[in-house]
């Protein structure tokens, strides 16, 4: 969840903290010129209350808070496009207009996801995958369905990926993993209780893991690992469908697969072709584009 969303939610804030939160929202980028003491003076509170507010947003210390908040504002200001990720089309739109708006949203989502992709974090994530004997994906709902495509791609180049749909089984399964395994946690909010508990288990057991989560401060991203960020333009509940986050997750998993594939390109390509010759030789089509005469 973005810091500004936490400030607006006022969850468990005291009256003084609410005043400070409103003042910080109004400041926006101008917060760079303020200290905890100067904000306390402007809001007739105390520096201790300012620090308390920072802590309630998940950040220790005002300077760390200010740095994270300014980075978040920069991200919000460079949001791509004009399509509302929550309500991308309106009542009465023609079928052609709906299709075009969704196409624009897809394009904007990919651009936004790319803008959040950090080279070193991606490299670290792929290195985890490469070193692991097996990959375990933990999430719930649609994200697990999206991960099935990632599993299929990886299996076709000889890499084991396991997806457990039963949430209770996930909690027990993570305790059976070793440091030779790798875990991918997917949580848009980064605050899903069961996911956080499993990530804490990985930290305790030193099991390598990476996260796909929303941009901004959240409990999951703070636990470590390699954080890859989902395009963060979508409200958790107020949306027509999760077009934005689902596409972003799918894109990130495709990037992980592709970069891993490229690490041993020739071998992986030959492995996949060899498997296709054995398993898919019975597939046929009259469309010449679909037919490979070499299989």
Element housing 213 (H / E): strand 209-214
Sign of CA dihedral 58, 61, 62, 64: negative
- DSSP annotation of 102 reads H
| Second-level CATH architecture of 114-263 | 3-Layer(aba) Sandwich (3.40)
Per-residue pLDDT of the chain (295 residues; tens, 9 = 90+): 678 888 888 888 999 999 999 999 999 889 999 999 999 999 999 999 999 999 888 888 999 999 989 988 888 777 666 788 889 999 998 999 999 999 999 999 999 999 999 999 999 999 999 999 999 999 988 999 999 999 999 999 999 999 999 989 999 999 999 999 999 999 998 888 999 999 999 999 999 999 999 987 788 988 877 999 999 888 877 889 999 999 999 999 999 999 999 999 999 999 999 988 887 666 665 566 666 655 5
Tokens 């196409």 locate to 103
| Second-level CATH architecture of 3-77 | Orthogonal Bundle (1.10)
List, by residue range, all CATH 3.40.50.10490 domains of the chain.
Answer: 114-263
272 dihedral zone (left: phi>0; alpha: psi -120 to 50; beta): alpha
Q: What is the pLDDT of residue 218?
A: 83
Which backbone phi and psi does 71 adopt, to 5 degrees?
Answer: -65, -40
List, by residue range, all CATH 1.10.10.10 domains of the chain.
Answer: 3-77
């Amino acid at each position: 969840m973005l810091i500004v969303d936490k400030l607006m939610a006022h969850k468990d804030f005291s009256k003084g903290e609410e005043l400070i939160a409103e003042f910080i929202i109004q400041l926006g980028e101008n917060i760079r010129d303020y200290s905890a003491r100067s904000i306390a003076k402007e809001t007739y509170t105390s520096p201790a209350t300012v620090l308390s507010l920072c802590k309630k947003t998940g950040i220790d210390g005002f300077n760390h808070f200010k740095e994270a908040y300014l980075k978040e504002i920069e991200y919000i200001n460079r949001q791509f496009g004009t399509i509302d990720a929550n309500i991308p089309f309106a009542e009465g739109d023609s079928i052609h207009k709906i299709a075009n708006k969704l196409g624009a949203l897809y394009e904007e989502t990919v651009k936004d996801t790319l803008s959040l992709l950090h080279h070193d974090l991606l490299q670290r994530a792929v290195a985890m995958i490469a070193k692991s004997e097996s990959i375990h994906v933990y999430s719930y709902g649609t994200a697990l369905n999206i991960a099935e495509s990632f599993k299929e791609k990886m299996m076709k180049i000889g890499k084991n990926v396991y997806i457990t749909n039963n949430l209770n089984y996930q909690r027990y399964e993570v305790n059976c993993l070793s440091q030779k395994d790798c875990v991918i946690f997917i949580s848009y909010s980064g605050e899903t209780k069961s996911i956080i508990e499993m990530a804490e288990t990985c930290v305790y057991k030193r099991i390598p893991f990476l996260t796909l989560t929303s941009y901004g401060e959240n409990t999951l991203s703070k636990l470590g690992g390699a954080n890859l960020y989902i395009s963060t333009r979508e409200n958790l509940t107020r949306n027509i469908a999760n077009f934005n986050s689902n596409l972003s997750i799918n894109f990130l998993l495709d990037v992980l697969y592709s970069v891993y594939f490229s690490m041993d390109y020739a071998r992986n390509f030959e492995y996949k072709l060899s498997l296709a010759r054995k398993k898919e030789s019975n597939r046929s089509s009259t469309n010449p584009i679909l037919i490979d005469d070499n299989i």
